[in-house]
A and B are shown apart, each in its own frame.
Chain A
Amino acid sequence: MKTNASAPLARLREQHPAPRLPRILVHCGTAGNAMGATRYLEELRIALGDRSDSVVEAASDGANWAAPAATVAQGTYMRRFERLDLHGIDDVIACFNGDCGDEANYAGTGGRGLTARLGRNDGTLGDVLAQGGYSALDRALTSTPEQLLDAIEDAGFTGRGGAHFPVATKWRLAAADTHRPRMLVVNAEEGEPGVFKDRHLLEGDPHRLIEGILIAHYAVGFERAYVYINGQARTARAIFENALADAAAAEIFSGAAWNQTFGLKIHVRSGAGGYVCGEESVILNSIEGERPVPRYKPPYATDRGLFGNPTIINNAETLCAITTVFEKPPPPTKLVSLSGDVPRPGLYEIPVDGATTWTSLLVMAGTNPLDVQAILIGGPSGVFVMAEQFEEVLEMRSLGAGGVVAFGSNTDLSQITRELASYNMRESCGECTPCREGTTRMVALLEHPAEHRKEIANLIEILTEGSLCQLGGMAGRPIQSALDQFPTAF
């Protein structure tokens, strides 16, 4: 990915040299720290003595099942050492000293896609630039905004926040409105239970999001960008703000590094919880200081969004994914947050290429698919996919935001269905009646579903059609799916 760098990018790389190898990346971040990774950071530093500079703190690479873990980077070779709590650090040190064993154990799939640098950099700009950072922006700047929009359209990018709206279509709507200041809102609220991809992206490769924001800015021309980060994701926010400061200091953010003036102002905001707070119009209200409830649509945000201005709202993963637009062929991948009854739960970047099935995902996660009776896709707004359907080919749309929970044979799926209904009831913001009353009623009906089949069907229809936002609008989905797939379980 280092080829064809423009003179400005080459200069940036000169000013910010790549780190020395070999080195040991200890996977800390929220996930690693929850498994005590910092302890191994210390142990390795002490063990390496005067070479302790070679032990660096990196974020999680998504392989949560392997935490606490460390990766040794020797030239282009990388080897990840898993479960240091079980295996200790001796093999890590041996590998650092040149004896890595011959087991093929590379960290992740390597090199491509939007997780290519995840957990494999120490957060310094030099490291990120050496691994291809800002080369997509560099390339974008050699085309016109219109050509860039065409490339994004041709690659078929859709939003990764759940609804999969075509990115180029949305961007064009705002790009056309040149008379008013345009706003970009980056949705990193990530409040859907079971989804943890945006936190990983922000912690593990914040410069990719900055690059995506700048590419969007070049295509559309924003006055301001707001990055709205989940209130609990404090580590993600701190890491992102540090990266932003580095990108500003290196004159990347201003555009001066390319002899350009981007003129984009950026604000970072924290949320304060609630599933509905990830809905785009709720975020607009939240940023404006209004009550965090959904807005009536129309008007759409692209017409009257933040402070009445044309506004683009994109998920954080969407903007990160855009940085892969020039990789050939553009890899249609989706981040999947996989949890539940599998040996290797974690974050997966899976190809949505017409060949990947649910079975492939489960096998990647170390499971015999026969041990899984069903998976839930999309959490409280999602659907169940039963074992018989695991051979179905994955489509972008069917993945939603990418939250997948696997259920082993002992799980009572009717109980899960009730939990989802009760979650939607608690999270209903109460702004509209169908959802406020309907989600409560649904919980009551699900106590004795067999006696209330008709009323449940009716209620699902009311929720779907009458709700103001898609929290209520999709609250019936898992129930309908349960009734279709395992009616006898109730």
Chain B
Amino acid sequence: MTNEELSINLEAMQDGTSGVDALPRDKDQLLPALLAMHQALDWLPREAISYVANHVQVPLSEVYATTTAYSELRLEPPVPGQWHVCTGIACNLAGADKLLDQIPNTARIDCQFLCALAPVICDEDEQLFGRVSVEEFRDRVNS
């Protein structure tokens, strides 16, 4: 990891901790605290989880059990530049496989709840795009 990346992470970590510090130190704030961290960092490194555990006064093992149970909480950093293609039923019907095949560095994701705009893709910032063709997808990735 370069110094620059490290410093961005530290800054994000600071955002995360101040988000957590703003919440009451009660157990029912566990998920809001995890989400505050996740929003700042895009994922939950070990330090972030320990910080949350300490803040809401819940044992670390339990915080891990909770964290791993929510599908949207990432325990690894997102892959840079990776786009997601919805492979829910409607998007599959609309040709999600073709998008996955033809665009590099794409991953599958479950239903994004825009099924009426299938096929749906999602960029790094979780912005959704609907009714996407291979050509449009390629343009977006390259722009």
Contacts and interface: CB of A to CB of B under 8 A. Distances in A.
A340 B35 CA distance: 33
A35 B131 contact: yes
A193 interface: yes
Interface string B13-37: 0000000000000111111101100
A269 B113 contact: no
Contacts of B62: 291
A34 B130 contact: yes
B114 A340 contact: no
The size bracket of the interface on A is: 35 or more
A272 B34 contact: yes
A233 B35 CA distance: 13
Interface string A46-89: 00000000000000000011010000000000000000000000
Given A35-B130, A274-B69, A277-B70, A339 B90 contact: yes
B72 A339 contact: no
Interface residues of B, number: 41
Contact of A419 (B58, B66, B89, B120): B89
A416 B89 contact: yes
B60 interface: no
Given A273-B72, A293-B69, A196 B116 contact: yes
A379 B110 CA distance: 13
B88 A196 contact: no
A363 B82 CA distance: 39
A389 B72 CA distance: 38
A289 B27 contact: yes
A286 to B, nearest CB: 6
A274 B90 CA distance: 18
Contacts of A232: 72, 112-113, 126
A291 B29 CA distance: 13
Contacts of A288: 27-28
26 contacts: A31-B114, A31-B116, A33-B127, A34-B128, A35-B130, A64-B117, A193-B110, A193-B111, A196-B116, A231-B35, A232-B126, A272-B31, A273-B71, A274-B70, A274-B71, A289-B27, A289-B58, A292-B69, A337-B116, A339-B116, A339-B118, A340-B93, A345-B116, A345-B117, A405-B89, A419-B89
Interface of A: 30-31, 33-35, 64-65, 67, 190, 193-196, 199, 230-233, 269-274, 277, 286-293, 337-341, 345-347, 376, 379, 405, 407-408, 411, 416, 419-420, 423, 429
Interface of B: 26-32, 34-35, 38, 56, 58, 62, 65-66, 69-73, 88-90, 92-93, 110-118, 120, 126-131
